[in-house]
Chains A and B, each alone.
Chain A
Amino acid sequence: GAGVSQSPRYKVAKRGQDVALRCDPISGHVSLFWYQQALGQGPEFLTYFQNEAQLDKSGLPSDRFFAERPEGSVSTLKIQRTQQEDSAVYLCASSPQAGGREETQYFGPGTRLLVL
């Protein structure tokens, strides 16, 4: 079946521009995670959804970052007034059950964001 998909795959934004990154999880997966991965580093947790509920947003670096999953499937990560330090790969992952941290997470290919 289809895996996790993300769009766009690449995004170049001018500093100050707003961007929206989309994640389509595996159908029926309850848990959805967003991660930020800087060059040469491991992914860092941003936020977690259980169905449509955002249960943990402790990793969002500032109030310029906002995520939603209104119908419990597709999720959007929005970054307002982008800054150069936002340049990174943004990874989305889903898992079948609630919680997700005790089971396999299935990752999308990521969106590579470059802020100029």
Chain B
Amino acid sequence: SQQGEEDPQALSIQEGENATMNCSYKTSINNLQWYRQNSGRGLVHLILIRSNEREKHSGRLRVTLDTSKKSSSLLITASRAADTASYFCATDGASKIIFGSGTRLSIRP
């Protein structure tokens, strides 16, 4: 079972545009993380946001967290071809990290 659900499941945008992905979860959390997975490879950690934080930035990434709505969003600005990947949110469950089903992002040249 997966706690986090990403929306949309797939997203295709033009290079240079911004990409926004959303994540909803079910139970209370201490933190939420976003990971990226390129085709056929392991996951790479992008950013962690704690439950007492509302927004966090890292380079072209902006993450928001709304604990009242149990949702988070990941914004990638000025997208590049190299951003093509699957993006997963992950929440800390009772004793482990629980991943969502992911958003597949494609950047068109």
Contact = CB atoms under 8 A, between A and B. Distances in A.
Nearest to A6: B42
B2 interface: yes
A37 to B, nearest CB: 9
Interface string B54-97: 00000000000000000000000000000000001010110111
Contact of A104 (B45, B88, B96, B99): B45
A56 B96 contact: yes
B43 A107 contact: yes
Contact of A107 (B40, B42, B93): B42
A62 interface: no
Contacts of A66: none
Interface residues of B, number: 25
B22 interface: no
B101 A42 contact: yes
Contacts of A109: 41-42
Interface in B22-49: 30-31, 33, 35, 40-45, 48
A33 B43 CA distance: 13
Nearest to B45: A104
B2 A42 contact: yes
A93 B101 CA distance: 18
A45 B94 CA distance: 12
Interface in A80-116: 91, 93, 100-110, 112
Given A91-B43, A109-B42, A104 B92 contact: no
Nearest to B44: A107
A44 B42 contact: no
Given A41-B101, A41-B102, A42-B88, A91 B42 contact: yes
Interface of B: 2, 4, 30-31, 33, 35, 40-45, 48, 88, 90, 92-93, 95-102
